[in-house]
Structure 1
């Protein structure tokens, strides 16, 4: 029995030593992120029969288990995805909110300063110093608008850069998981260290996107992103890549390749980034639903300012007596119109389209989708409201949209060709002051008086003052009255005394040029209409300046709902609301994540008090087994000595 005691003692020492090793490893990794507590399972060796009885032969450690709760870990990954998305959403919204609340206010202040300078000039319309100040304030407004556009463009670039960087990191993680899977497939048992590393990588992956994990019998795991993109299949890692947006290059897209990295023969599919969840989904949501609309609203504000001031300028007379010219860049100039139309890459037609804005105040949407299905069907959908309307082709122009039309500049449309439209895009970057002379500010207004007997269905627009020195040019005291026969396309002119200045002359609608000026006619009448013109520049005439200053209170934008300043303030309020909502979302997501984390820790985490108690327990077991060896040795020695 002495030999049996030694064997029993040896197995006890070895088992206690294994238990001490596992416990010590738990203690030393208590603060290791992602470490799962391990437990050594101990069993008895088979008993042996002796003298009609069965005697135990010792113990052994039959397994070292990694304590792992699959359900709790899944909940933790879901919580990680949610909290990463919420934190990203809040961080990005906060940055934009700070921009609109601080630096962006210079844009509103610049517009208010322009209004104030126009009010001052209205008191002394001929003062060149005050006129110079108006131009200076206009230039300051343009500079503020440009700086704001640059800041928003910088945020767009930063957001896209983050998407690219995360995509690269996701690819690196997929390679690492595939390598670990390969090692696990080759190993004969569960390698706790590899499994912990695998779980840590998947948990990190769940920060960037929602993950679905399929466990294999070998311990390897296949991973999908967002429920649709296979990222890792066993030991094979797939690849993601980023590409320029379609149709707008600034909207970075992600492509998934369904083959092993480096093989180059797999198909590539577009990934809906927003559907991935996590940081990637939050970045895409912020870019597409917050940042891009905010930039387009700033563009709309720039268009509104340019359209409103330029329209009033062209209705007034400057110090030289000429018809006023644009103060700001024309709303359809190439620098203001860049990026308004994008054709999808899979269009089969060759048509090239451009957007022409006719009335900035009528613009209500930020982005539209145009689909051509037949020669009589041009469906225009507001992507914000989902409302769809039909456009009408008139020559090469598609008409019927709010505030703008589409020109088919070249090529032909094919069935199902699709275009994305951003009518306001690029306006803030192209917004600038084009007037150079303070004297060119149109302070006064020409007087065009319709006859009381007119139908009321005819309007005249003064298009140019060509020669103020022309014989008969209408000035105060020498006004001219035009009698226009709309059915015969002829006109006759009378002086201030009602005397005809010549026989009726023909004209080509809609324009008439005579006596040093030109005007356009827009009428639905068929009879004769009469208008009296006084185009003199009166000293101190501030009529047009008063109209410009009054723009501060006019609801010109969004179909007559908002002032020019309201466009900015409404965007600022929307961003502030988004930031507050995102802040609440972070609190909620943190609470859910904390619960999931505690659940995992309660199962798989290391409890130092429990491990310290185990350490003492296994130390005593080790000492006791060693004592058995001592006793067995002494018995053997006694027996041996008695037989000598």
Structure 2
């Protein structure tokens, strides 16, 4: 009877373990990260001997969790992609909202340039000039507000980077603690610890792209996307945040040895923050600043080519900050670098790093592209519309970061407050001598160098012969001379002109300040024409076109971010579905198992009862 009794007891114990396992599955059906558990049973080995074997009951070897390493890793990878896409989409949405909330810059630009046309059409109306300054102030306010919104998002991104790194360190520490408990448990590892660890790795993958390696002792090693070890055994290696080497307001990420790894990280929330900041937000700020610089430069230059209501050469209407130069924190020398914008048409939206190797200066974009430097006769260096002046004594390895336009949109300012200072009139006029015999006439006269000190000085253009010319000042000094051919451009004192018709020998023309300034609005028309004039990109792109391109780029970023989020969410859901098909709890299956194990429990109990009854009958027979 002993075999029958022990067999029944083993069946009863096995059914009880199975029932408890099914109950645990049902209880955790909604628990995140829980893996369905199953009982592994084996037949007890029969004792040797005899002519036949019947068996010796059942043995519960283990309670295993349903798990697929491949499917779990797929969930982690897709979770990293989805969280990156979610964060990126949120940032792009915020950027588009900032663009809308900061005012209609396109409309403000149109109104500003259009106001010059109104001034040209109403030369004697003071309100037209005052309205122009009002439109200019409104446009500047939109530039400033949009620039401030972008700067605010920079601050928010920096704050999020720090918060995300803190979360990464906290989760990594938790994984290391679980590794210690799992190692201590040896081969009999509680399934709940494994589930908790997997769940924490999934949480970590949402913050940062990770890879894992299962160690022989049951622990898992976790690595960041750049190969940086985050968890090894029961130890975690914390990432750190700190100031950028050049910009103290910019937060970068450092590994446990203190090396800056911001450019090497990808995936998850942190990867999205770093990617968006470096590849979208910086560029948008620079492009908006580039448009502000182009606006200020082109209007101020055209102003200087005309006369205001007081008969004075036009003064600047706007101002923008000079390029920002940031010194590396580790510089050893006393060298300094300053930068100015010398050619707006060649200006790009890039930031640069200028470094010294001990004998020469080298220029690269912050993305690492080499930019040739040109040495100027005055000792300065030039590249891409910028001029650099070096002072002091730099040491090998010293470097500086140059941000030509980053602060221009927030720093754009209207410096003109007096409407009479608007230079609506042309600066120069040409008058033919009364005794001229030929058909020559001044076709156009344009200011080429507004900074020329003699620009408004009187000069005389004469033709000693029909095929030669000479320009003299009021004292008779020769300023320019040479042979003449029809349509030829003649230049002196910062101006240039062309003639129509054919001048005769001894014909003369007087060039000097425009005495009809109160009634002349030709320069106002030229200022209005700046709306379509090429200023950037080698003189091919106007300010309005540049802003249009910027808004298109921002819209494209937002659209791509939204599409990518939809794609990554679908991939994540598919990965989770595949993983849950293996590890998830199915209540219908558990209900069926519950009935099966309940019946097994009852049947095993009946076996025990039968064994007891037989044993009682034997005892009674012996006593009788």
TM-score using structure 2 length: 0.86
User: 1:413 matched to which residue of 2?
Assistant: 394
Gaps of 5+ in 1: 258-266, 467-472, 484-490, 495-499, 507-518, 524-528
- Matching residue of 1:380: 363
Instruction: Say if 2:343 is the partner of 1:356.
Output: no
Cα distance, 1:446–1:551 mapped onto 2, change above 3 Å: same
Hey, what does 2:521 align to over in structure 1? 542
Q: Provide the aligned length of Structure 1 versus Structure 2.
A: 582
Q: For the Cα contact (< 8 Å) 2:333–2:393, is it kept in 1?
A: yes
Task: Report deviation, 1:618.
Answer: 0.4
- Alignment of structure 1 residues 401-440 onto 2, 5 Å: 401-408=383-390, 410-440=391-421
Separation (CA, whole Å) in 1 of partners of 2:527 and 2:45: 102
Q: State the partner residue of 1:66.
A: 65
Q: 1:302 aligns with which of 270, 292, 300?
A: 292
| Pairwise CA distance, 1:416 | 4.5
Q: Give 2:306's aligned residue.
A: 316
Tell me the secondary structure at the aligned position of residue 314 of structure 2.
coil
Residue in structure 1 matching 2:597, options 590, 607, 618 = 618
CA pair 313-91 structure 1, distance change in 2 beyond 3 A: same
Map residues 336-347 of structure 1 onto 2, 5 A cutoff. Answer: 336-337=321-322, 340-347=324-331
2:445 corresponds to 1:461: no
Q: Given that residues 195 and 219 in structure 1 are in contact (C-alpha distance below 8 angstroms), is that contact kept between their aligned partners in structure 2?
A: no
1:390 aligned to which of 357, 370, 373: 373
- Partner residue, 1:134: 132
The equivalent residue for 1:243 is 242
C-alpha displacement of 1:202: 0.5
- Determine the C-alpha separation between the residues in 2 that align with 1:556 and 1:393: 24
CA deviations 1:322-344 (Å, max 9, x no partner) are: 22211111x4xxxx125x22333
Question: After the TM superposition, which residues 509-520 of structure 1 pair with which residues of structure 2 at under 5 Å, given as runs?
Answer: none
2-side partners of 1:572 and 1:30: how far apart? 48
**Residues 562 and 577 of structure 1: CA distance in aligned 2, closer, same or farther (over 3 Å):** same
In 2: Cα distance, 1:294 partner to 1:531 partner: 50
Matched residue, 2:484: none
SS state at 2:562 partner: helix
2:606 to 622, 627, 633: 627
Runs of 5+ consecutive residues of structure 2 not aligned to the other structure: 433-439, 463-470, 480-491, 497-507
Matched, 1:225 2:210: no
Task: Tell me how far 1:580 sits from its aligned partner.
Answer: 2.3
| Deviations 1:30-84 (CA, angstroms, capped at 9, x unpaired) | 2211111111111233424687554433222111112221121112211112222
Work out the CA distance in 1 between the residues paired with 2:567 and 2:393.
53
| Native 8 Å contact 2:327 2:401 kept in 1 | yes
Shift in Å, 1:384: 6.7
Q: How does 1:107-506 map to 2 (within 5 A)?
A: 107-188=105-186, 189-257=188-256, 267-273=257-263, 275-329=265-319, 331=320, 336-337=321-322, 340-373=324-357, 375=359, 377-382=360-365, 386=369, 388-399=371-382, 401-408=383-390, 410-447=391-428, 449=430, 461=450, 481=460, 493-494=473-474
CA contact (8 A) 2:209 2:266 kept: yes
8 Å Cα contact 1:299-1:428 kept in structure 2: yes
Deviation, 1:542, is 1.0
Conserved in 1, the CA contact under 8 Å of 2:532 and 2:544?
Answer: no
Counterpart of 2:483? none
* CA deviation map 1:585-617 (0-9, x unaligned): 223323332332222112212222221111111
Instruction: Say if 1:459 and 1:29 are closer, same or farther in 2 by CA, change over 3 A.
Output: closer
What residue is the counterpart of 2:564 in the other structure? 585
Tell me the equivalent position of 1:603: 582
Distance in 1 (CA, whole Å) between partners of 2:493 and 2:270 is: 55
Task: Sort the Cα spacing of 1:279 and 1:137 in 2 relative to 1 into closer, same or farther, 3 A.
Answer: same
Map of 1:563 onto structure 2: 542
Change (3 A) 1:362 1:388: closer
User: CA 1:521–1:281 in structure 2 vs 1: closer, same or farther (change >3 Å)?
Assistant: same
- d(CA) in 1 for partners of 2:610 and 2:449? 122
Give distance in 2, aligned partners of 1:217 and 1:412.
57
Q: In the TM superposition, what whole-angstrom CA distance separates every residue of 1:309-367 from its partner, at most 9, and x where no partner exists?
A: 111222222222222211111x4xxxx125x2233344443321111112323213422
In the alignment, is the contact (CA less than 8 A) between 2:341 and 2:385 conserved in 1?
A: yes
Using the alignment, how far apart are the partners of 1:55 and 1:146 within structure 2? 91
Over 3 Å counting, the alpha-carbon distance change for 1:637 and 1:53 in structure 2 is: same
Q: Does 1:575 align with 2:558?
A: no
Identify the range of structure 1 (137-146 vs 244-253) with the bigger mean alpha-carbon deviation. Answer: 244-253
Instruction: Note the alpha carbon deviations across 1:458-511, whole angstroms, 9 max, x for none.
Output: 965355799xxxxxx97xxxx65499xxxxxxx9743xxxxx5xx8699xxxxx
Shift, 1:184, TM fit: 1.3
CA pair 37-180 structure 1, distance change in 2 beyond 3 A: same
Q: Is the 8 A contact 1:319 1:537 kept in 2?
A: no
Residue 43 to residue 480, structure 1, CA distance change in 2 (3 Å): closer
Q: Distance in 2 between matches of 1:421 and 1:563?
A: 24
DSSP 3-state at the match of 2:518: coil
TM-score by length of 1: 0.83
Confirm or deny: 8 A CA contact 1:274 1:284 kept in the other structure.
Answer: no
Choose the corresponding residue for 2:530, options 528, 535, 551.
551
Q: What's the RMSD between the two structures over aligned residues?
A: 3.2
What's the CA shift string for 1:395-429, capped at 9, x where partnerless?
44213x23220112x32233454333221121111
Counterpart position of 2:74 = 75
Q: Which residue of 2 aligns with 1:470?
A: none
Q: Helix, strand or coil for the counterpart of 2:306?
A: coil
3-state DSSP of counterpart to 1:609 = helix
Indicate the residue corresponding to 1:84 in structure 2.
Answer: 83
Superimposed CA distance per residue, residues 616-639 of structure 1 (whole angstroms, 9 cap, x where no aligned partner): 110000000111122222222222
Q: Is the 8 A contact 1:72 1:596 kept in 2?
A: yes
| 1:38 aligned residue | 37
Return the alpha-carbon distance in structure 1 between the equivalents of residues 547 and 353 of structure 2. Answer: 25
Flag the 1:631–1:457 CA change in 2: closer, same or farther, 3 A: closer
Q: Contact conserved, 1:321 with 1:537, CA < 8 A, in 2?
A: no
